[in-house]
Structure 1
Amino acid sequence: MRILHTSDWHIGRTFHGHATLDALRGVLEQLTAEVRAHEVDVVIVAGDVFDSATPAAPAYALLSDTLRALADTGAHVIVTSGNHDSAARLGFQAGLLRDGIHVITDPGTVGTPVTIDDVDGPVHVYGIPFLEPALLRHLWPGVRTQHDALGHAMQLVRADLAARGGRSVAVAHCFAAGVEPTPHLERDIQQGGLDIVPLTVFDGVDYAALGHIHGRQQLSPHVRYAGAPLHYSFGEGDKPRGAWLVDLDADGLAAVQWLDLPVPRRLVTLRGPVDELLTDPAYDDAREAWVCVEYTDPLPQRDPLRRLQERFAHCAKVVHAPVGAPVAEARSYAERVAAARTDHELVDAFLVHVREGEGLSEAEAEMLTEVQGERVRAEALA
């Protein structure tokens, strides 16, 4: 049996304020073509189908069109909900879907597989929707963390599998131990999002198709993330987009290969002074890319995004990253102002605060002295 493992479509997500729906539609159309070309038997979507719990109508239309197109290839389609999805909204029409399309959003169904037969017998696909521990305590007493929730879910899977026999696939949406650290991962953990689930939780199945991480990752031969089909941040720009093709033979996992998907618009990060970025021919090849600029001018520049978009139409992010910026003052701005004894010290404290550590220059100090002198003369004449 051949399985295509994808995840994290995030239908409806924007990229720095720009819509991604048309780009995603093109990628999902290519994914459907690959499903047909590679004679895939089962397509798995491991959560975060939508980017929002309240997706707009065009997001529903893209999902419906894609699910129908995938089913038209002859493949079974199994979709689970992720933490970005509303389980109720994603699952409300599950009972109305055509044969071969399964949308799994109810934790009460965990441990009951979608069973698909091939020449070697049954393959049981256990879809595990995103499990919110606080909402499961009435159903699974004692569950307090993601580790608890996934651990209990996989106990149900293994118990059912022991009774049924055959090959098996688990589908889950979580942070699994061994994931490559990213700012996104660290931020979610620090804010109380998803906690780490040990890899041993997924013992007992032939393959674990995971979602939530936006870059492909192999945590063990049988536990993998497929990542998102589009780049949704500049931090993902160096990660390929695609899906895993998973082959099961009569004995279980036989082979896994990566299937590349097209990148509608590549992402690049440029670094240098604004004037150089606007004129140097070396940056010509970035004109059609999504561009993040880290400009290195000592002081903030006026309206840098608009100026840079005149050359890079798809410049979406601009960051001031001066080279050799002075080490940040240990004291707060309020403390520096309170400690100021002269006008020069007061103005210097203000400029350090608003100019990335750049205080009074020699010319500015001379100008301030002249202004102070004129003020003293004016007061004497008055």
Structure 2
Amino acid sequence: MRIIHSADWQIGKVFKQFGAKEETLRQARLSAIERLGVHARENGVRHVLVAGDVYDSEAPCAHTLRAPIERMKTFGDVHWHLLPGNHDPHRPEGVWDRVAQLGVPENIHLHLSPIPATLDENAALLPAPLLRKSEFDDITAWMDAASTPPGALRIGLAHGSVVDFGSGGEASNPIDPTRAAKAHLDYLALGDWHRTLQVGAKTWYAGTPEPDRTGGQEQGTALLVDIAGPGAPPSITRLVTGTYRWVTRSERFDDEEASADLDRRLREEPDLSRLVLRLKLEGSLPLAAYGAFRRRMIDLDAAVFDLDLDEASLAARPTLADLEAIDFDGVLRRSADRLKKIVDDSSAAPDLRRRAEEALVELYLRVAGAVREEAA
């Protein structure tokens, strides 16, 4: 049997920190559903399992409620199996009752109770929906004694954190990492962790189909799962579903070449305009090199989808040549000297040193710009 395992769509997620770009990221999460449908058709898959957090909240607006349903409708030959997670638990008159009231088509299945469901004549689905945001007991425990047809594949679907996983999940909701073995499952499809992760031979987190944070999964994925038969180990293939790549880089600068090398490497990233980049920098640069670095960052900011630049630990350290370029012996040079003394004074307050450093850089850039204009 072949299925696609997905999770953590979180439709309606807010990205206020991105300002005018927020709606673009929200739409990308819907586009990921369409890619899942395309992957299903291209790979001959009839069942897509979504392991919780279809919605980002329990109270989505009417448009957000309908949007994923409409995308799934267009793939009528694919069966979509949806499970409540900790962001969208199944409560009375909650989000899932609202979805049911819409009258979902026959190819969309809401698994709102821990009851075995038939995928086909050779496979049964054992869902473990969340009825509240946080559970203290393992909601997959019932699977151990669940009855399924003889010879049928047993596939579990749950949302939570495996018990030895530490603080990786968003809610407590413990799940025994050996549940697949205890319940004789041929595959356990998990959601909650936003990275693709193998927990055991037959237990996987799919990761999110569209990333939502830096420092996590760089690109959205789902899992194509092939199961030859009962007891056979599943074969897993990662499928790319995401539009944007969320990349975090930490770099240290000690000279101009390091800055130029970083720029070259970033320019080699695929689909630069779809890159959400968090760049953390440390080290120091001479003023001239720092000026060149700033110009590169302005260009890079225009090239990528979004640039979050953290240069709090990157210092501009003026050389004698830098100071000579400002003014050989005039009021600007004397101002530069005073600023440099503050920058070099380790006993000065960090904020004061940083402001002096910024002022020195700005002074250098203004003078350098004026010199270039005169030369032109």
Q: Shorter-chain-normalised TM-score: which range?
A: 0.5 to 0.7
Q: Does 1:39 align with 2:26?
A: no
**1:322 matched to which residue of 2?**
313
Q: Which amino acid aligns with 2:119?
A: I
Structure 1: gaps (5+ residues) = 135-144, 325-343, 365-382
Deviations 1:96-145 (CA, angstroms, capped at 9, x unpaired): 2222321123xxx21x1211323xx3x221211125387xxxxxxxxxx5
Percent identical pairs in the alignment equals 23
**2:108 matched to which residue of 1?**
101
Question: Does the CA contact (< 8 Å) of 1:305 and 1:317 recur in 2?
Answer: no
Alignment of 1:1-382 (within 5 A): 1-15=1-15, 16-17=17-18, 18-19=22-23, 20-70=25-75, 72-73=76-77, 75-87=78-90, 88-94=94-100, 96-105=103-112, 109-110=113-114, 112-118=115-121, 121=122, 123-132=123-132, 146=136, 148-150=137-139, 153-155=140-142, 157-161=143-147, 166-179=152-165, 185=168, 188=170, 193-194=171-172, 196-202=174-180, 203-204=182-183, 205-238=185-218, 240-253=219-232, 255-270=234-249, 271=251, 281-282=263-264, 283-285=266-268, 288=273, 289-296=275-282, 308=297, 311-313=300-302, 314-322=305-313, 351-352=349-350, 354=351
Question: Does the CA contact (< 8 Å) of 2:84 and 2:131 recur in 1?
Answer: no
**2:328 matched to which residue of 1?**
none
- Per the TM alignment, residue 217 of structure 1 is displaced from its structure 2 partner at its CA by 0.9
- Per the TM alignment, residue 47 of structure 1 is displaced from its structure 2 partner at its CA by 0.5
- Per the TM alignment, residue 36 of structure 1 is displaced from its structure 2 partner at its CA by 0.9
TM-score (norm: length of structure 1): 0.66
Structure 2: gaps (5+ residues) = 316-341, 361-376
Deviations 1:196-238 (CA, angstroms, capped at 9, x unpaired): 4321334212211100011111111111110001121121254
Q: 1:10 to 1:56 in 2, by over 3 A?
A: same
What is the number of residues matched between the two proteins?
Answer: 305
Question: Does the CA contact (< 8 Å) of 2:161 and 2:192 recur in 1?
Answer: yes
Question: Does the CA contact (< 8 Å) of 2:227 and 2:235 recur in 1?
Answer: no
Counterpart CA distance in 2 for 1:68 and 1:86 is 23
Question: Does the CA contact (< 8 Å) of 1:294 and 1:319 recur in 2?
Answer: yes
Deviations 1:135-166 (CA, angstroms, capped at 9, x unpaired): xxxxxxxxxx53x242xx422x3333168773
Deviations 1:311-361 (CA, angstroms, capped at 9, x unpaired): 31333423234169xxxxxxxxxxxxxxxxxxx9xx988724x36x97999
Deviations 1:252-307 (CA, angstroms, capped at 9, x unpaired): 4453221321442333335356x9669975243465222212133669x9xx9999
Counterpart CA distance in 2 for 1:133 and 1:236 is 22
Report the secondary structure of 2:313's partner residue: coil
Q: 1:272 to 1:55 in 2, by over 3 A?
A: farther
Counterpart CA distance in 2 for 1:25 and 1:319 is 30
Report the secondary structure of 1:67's partner residue: helix
Question: Does the CA contact (< 8 Å) of 2:85 and 2:133 recur in 1?
Answer: no
Q: 1:167 to 1:281 in 2, by over 3 A?
A: closer
Q: 1:350 to 1:23 in 2, by over 3 A?
A: same
Question: Does the CA contact (< 8 Å) of 2:187 and 2:203 recur in 1?
Answer: yes
RMSD of the TM alignment (CA)? 3.9
Counterpart CA distance in 2 for 1:85 and 1:132 is 8
- Per the TM alignment, residue 91 of structure 1 is displaced from its structure 2 partner at its CA by 3.7
Counterpart CA distance in 2 for 1:50 and 1:358 is 43
Q: Which amino acid aligns with 2:86?
A: N
Counterpart CA distance in 1 for 2:204 and 2:125 is 15
Q: Which amino acid aligns with 2:127?
A: G
Q: Which amino acid aligns with 1:284?
A: R
